[in-house]
Amino acid sequence: MTLVILSLIIAYFYAFNVGASGSAATMGIAYGARVINKKWIALLLSGIGCLFGALWGGEVVETIGKGLIPESLLTVEAAVIILFVSALTLFVTNLLGIPLSTSEVTVGSIVGVSISLQQLYLSKLVDIILFWIFVPLAAFLLTFLFGLLKEHLKPKKLKSKKLTAVLSVLLIITGFLEAIAAGMNNVASAVGPLVGADVLNKGTGLLTGGLFMALGALLLGGRVLETNGKRISHLSLSDGVVISGTSGFLVIGASVLGIPIPMTQVTTSGIVGAGATKDWRGIWRNKVIHRIAKVWVTSPLISLVMAFCLTEIFLMSKVSTVIIISSGIFATLVLTNFGRSSLVKKARQPLKEEF
């Protein structure tokens, strides 16, 4: 009973943080463009959209709870490990200010547990990874093509107060659509493992997980909204409509198919696509893009290794395996740093003149 209560606390704490870090950002474009001037209105819209979307997230919950690992192996203990690793990784990266996809972290944790238990539905994992590649690519291409079309129409100077008003309304609508998509896809990360472990039924998990995500957006989403609003305030209204609309529709489409998708990467790819039409070379030299790409690859791997090690220790009682893996990682890091320091020292040595 104690373990069940602990699993619920971790799951809802995770949902609360997911709502704060992800769902509140969905209205960032509208807030940054000053279409919505009051922060609380933007947060309220984000929270409502998140809750509404969560109620329709059943397909993704099925995938997270039952699609990657056999139900018979997804015990309460395994669910606690998955949720603990996911919540801890999200918490640490939030402290470091690194954008993170909850879907990637949760899937990585489930795979880590599955590898330790030697049971994994590999075909479903391959489907998810393919979606992780192609959906952000689709977001980039769609926003890039729109940007080219807009540049082509620029000489006609299609600007008016009426058009600005229409775009402002559309920006709010597409931002709300993106909030729905966030709730629909991300609620599974928090409650999916508990549904798979029969701690919660699907209906209760969707409702309670959605409520905690909405509360996270309302109570802790202000800073995220402010940061995102300032970072993307350079976007035009039309860019914002296309980016939010594209991200929202793509993520909702993936959710209907039961695919947990990294919404952060989808939205970022859309922003990059819009920016690439203005400065193709410069956008790829942006250090933020490089940082996001690294996190995109490393975050599921980190959660996978952590979940695997915890499962080996607490469920399989194989401490020796964890010691070997930890030693290998430590040795790799030491050798890498030693190699770098040697290269730096060599580079600093004065060049000898040859005659």
User: Token pair for residue 42?
Assistant: 């933007």
What sign for the dihedral angle of Cα 150, 143, 54, 86? negative
Q: Strand runs (DSSP E) across 3-44, as ranges?
A: none
Q: Dmax of the chain from CA atoms?
A: 81
Window from 16-20, 79-83, 151-155 with minimum mean pLDDT: 151-155
Between 261 and 17, the higher pLDDT residue: 261
At 275, the amino acid letter reads G
Mean pLDDT of 149-178: 82
* pLDDT bucket at 269, cuts 50 / 70 / 90: confident
User: Range with the lowest mean pLDDT among 83-87, 139-143, 286-290?
Assistant: 286-290
Q: What is the band of 344 on the pLDDT scale with cuts at 50, 70, 90?
A: very low
d(CA 125, CA 129): 6
Query: pTM, whole model, 2 decimals?
Result: 0.86
Mean pLDDT of the chain: 84
What is the per-residue pLDDT for 137?
93
Q: Using 50, 70 and 90 to split pLDDT, how confident is the model at 98?
A: low
Residues 295/99, Cβ–Cβ less than 8 Å: yes
- Report how far apart, in Å, the C-alpha atoms of 100 and of each of 78, 168, 240 are: 23, 29, 21
pLDDT of residue 351: 45
Tell me what pLDDT residue 77 has: 93
C-alpha 90 chain-centroid distance: 10
Q: From CA 133, how far away is CA 27, in angstroms rounded?
A: 25
Q: Which is more confidently placed, 246 or 330?
A: 246
pLDDT of residue 18: 87
What is residue 334's predicted lDDT score, i.e. its pLDDT? 62
> Which has more pLDDT, 154 or 131?
131
pLDDT of 21: 76
Pure H helices in 197-318: 202-220, 222-231, 237-256, 263-276, 280-284, 287-314
The C-alpha atoms of residue 213 and residue 186 are separated, in whole angstroms, by 9
For the chain, domain boundaries: 2-342
* Gap between the Cα atoms of 200 and 177, Å rounded: 27
**Position 222 pLDDT exceeds 80:** yes
Nearest-angstrom CA–CA distance, 82 and 121 = 16
Distance, CA of 21 to CA of 118 (rounded, Å): 33
- Structure confidence at residue 355 (pLDDT): 34
